[in-house]
Structures are given as structure tokens and as C-alpha cells.
Amino acid sequence: MDPNYAPLIPAQKVVVVGDGACGKTSLLNVLIRGVFPEMYEPTIVEVEDTSLYVDGHSVTLNLWDTTGQEEYDRLRSLAYGGNTSAVLIAFAVDSPTSLENVETLWFPEVAQYCPNVPIFLVALKKDLRNDAAAIAELARTNMTTVSESEGRRMAERIGAKGYFECCAKVNEGVHETFQGIARVTIKKFLPAPQSSADTKEEDPLCPCCVIL
């Protein structure tokens, strides 16, 4: 094979879903612009492209930021159409309810509209896991912040291809999350690696692949 050969990788459509106010828009804003928005503005559906490098390959991500509000369910369902490469389900570490909704709301919806599309799970607002104010607020209703192990178990239950943790506020784990997603989705466009008895496929849920 020509050593200068570069495979043509089409834009990878990634749909991001999850409860309202869990941090989806902030995550994408930091990825695309490097800026954390200080004010919360609800999103209905927004689409933007960004490019990143994954293992030496330039990859364009077509990112769909969707609303988590129930009244826009029908509109959100349209975002799943087309050639979706992956779906990223998000929850907030300071909202146990948003984690529960991963299994009861978001995973069933994704399975309905995007069967056989790789699913990934990301924990947002990781910095609030040990935040005194967040812990105290949840304690008022006998709840606690979501632990990493709880997030990983949820990822396993829904068959996620990868589990990540982010803090968009300080840009921690943001790019790594989308590089991890792209690494999975572009595999089918790359030449098959030479087989080896010693080669093992990485497990995206193993501890080394959890973005901390």
C-alpha cells in the first residue's frame, strides 16, 4: 500500500441526547469554541461541525445538540434520521435522576430510532461529584452525587461502546471523549490491521479508557 495513502473518511454524525440542563450544550461549546458558557440557554436542535485528529487521521464531526424537554420529543426524533454514526447519551453527576433517565428514557428512544448505531455514555459536571454545595442539596432529598462506578455500571447495562467523564467548565476530558467516539466510528473506513495472535481489541469500558 502507498505509504502516503490517506483513507477518505466521511463526516461522522454524532447525536447528543440527555436530560435538559445536564450540560450537553456546554460540552459541545467547549469542544468547538473552547469557551464555557456562563449562562444556561435551552437548546431545541442545533447542528455544528468541528474537526479533530484521531490516530493521525483528520475527522470531521457533524454534531447534533438536542433538547431534553418533553414537549420537543417529536422534533428531537428527527435528529436521529440520516446517516447517524454514533449517539452520545449524557447525564450530570449532580443529578441522579438524569442517570436513571439514561436507562428508562434515552436508551429506549435511541434504540427505537437508531438501532445498531454505537452508543456512548458520558458523565458531565464531574467537578460537582465532591462539591459540598451539590452534596448538601442532594442530601435534602436523600440522594447523593453519581459515582464513577455507578456510571460505568449503567454503561455496561445499555451496551455502551465507551464511557467517559468530563468537566466542561475546566475543559477536562472533552476532546478525549469525542476522540474516543471517532476512534470507534471511523474503524470501518480504515484498512484492516494485520492480524496477530498477540493483538487484542481494546475494551472501551476498561479503567484505562475512562476519561478522568
pLDDT single digits (tens) 157-202: 999 999 999 999 999 999 999 999 999 999 999 988 766 544 444 5
For 102-189, list the strands marked E by DSSP.
Answer: 119-124, 162-165
Quick count: other Cβ atoms within 10 Å of Cβ 11?
14
CB-CB contact of 52 with 179 (8 Å): yes
> Is residue 162 situated within a structural domain?
yes
Q: Which domain holds residue 49?
A: 12-188+204-209
The enclosing domain of 24 has a CATH number of 3.40.50.300
> Is residue 175 situated within a structural domain?
yes
Write down the pTM of the prediction: 0.90
> Is residue 94 situated within a structural domain?
yes
Phi, psi of 158 (to 5 degrees): -90, 0
Number of domains in the chain: 1
Strand-strand pairing, 45-54 and 57-66: antiparallel
CB-CB contact of 134 with 145 (8 Å): yes
> Is residue 119 situated within a structural domain?
yes
> Is residue 51 situated within a structural domain?
yes
**Spatial distance between the Cα atoms of 14 and 12, rounded to a whole number of angstroms:** 6
> Is residue 4 situated within a structural domain?
no
> Is residue 5 situated within a structural domain?
no
Query: pLDDT of 101-137, one tens digit each?
Result: 999 999 999 999 999 999 999 999 999 999 999 999 9
